[in-house]
Amino acid sequence: MEIGLELGYIIAALISAGVTFGSMWCKGKIKERKDKVFNYDPNLHSNVMTALEYMRQETEADRVYILEFHNGEHYFSGRSQQKFSCTYEVVSEGISREVQDLQNIRISSMHYLIKDVVQGETFMCKNVEEFCDDLSFKSFMETRGVMSMFARPIKTLNGKIIGIVVMDFVKDYRTWGKNAEEFLQKQSKIISGYLA
């Protein structure tokens, strides 16, 4: 009698496990199909581009763009290669577009930009000639013709940083004041609403 009960429990457990694994497999397949569907919202794109163009005009920046964080490949250690890519960009007339060159950039190579941003602060480089914290990053700015750069984190409502909004000034140097800081904070919140 006890053997029959134990056998019944074993069979019930096997059926339960089979149903659970089958359900998980089906959910995975459905998610896989959803991930493969091309999902592009033209309204979202238009809203983000309008916000960037507004920022460019209000600040007279030469180039305004968004860098969004994403995962890259993995190191042998299993640690992820954290990266970001430029996803949106607006430029003034006569200013080069850099969106194609700003893809899959390792965060570690942009330490001085990232360190302020991950602390929720604005990165400020008022004069690239005087920027000596990181000669590699200085060279990155100079190669793109940047004279001044300001960048602010883009955060979700729960405080997760998903990207950076960056303003490049190519034609002249810029100072940074309280009004500019408040404007950039406000605009990064608006952009966050579109991207999150």
What are the φ and ψ backbone dihedral angles of 17, each rounded to 5 degrees? Answer: -65, -40
Q: Is the pLDDT of residue 63 over 80?
A: yes
Could you tell me how far CA 8 lies from the centroid of its own chain? 53
Bridge partners (DSSP) of residue 168 are: 63, 149
For the residues 138-159, what does the mean pLDDT come to?
A: 91
Question: What would the pLDDT profile of 77-130 be if each residue is shown by its tens digit?
Answer: 877 778 899 999 999 999 999 988 899 888 888 888 888 888 889 999 999 988
How far apart CA 145 and CA 101 sit, in angstroms, is 14
pLDDT of residue 172: 92
Is residue 141 within 8 A of residue 131, CB to CB? The reply is yes
Task: Round to whole Å and give the CA distance between 118 and 153.
Answer: 7
Comparing CA positions, the residue from 123, 120, 98, 100 lying closest to residue 110 is 123
User: Residue 171: which H helix or E strand, with range?
Assistant: none
What distance in Å separates the CA atoms of residue 196 and residue 61, rounded to the nearest whole number? 25
Q: Which of 28-32, 137-141, 164-168 has the lowest mean pLDDT?
A: 28-32
How many other C-beta atoms lie within 10 A of the C-beta of residue 27? 10
Q: What are the pLDDT digits (tens) for 178-194?
A: 999 999 999 999 999 88
Q: Answer whether 69's CB lies under 8 Å from 161's CB.
A: yes
Residue 78: φ, ψ to 5°: 95, -10
pTM strictly above 0.85: no
Mean pLDDT score across all residues of the chain: 85
Kindly state the percentage of the chain with pLDDT values over 90: 42
From CA 49, how far away is CA 3, in angstroms rounded? 70
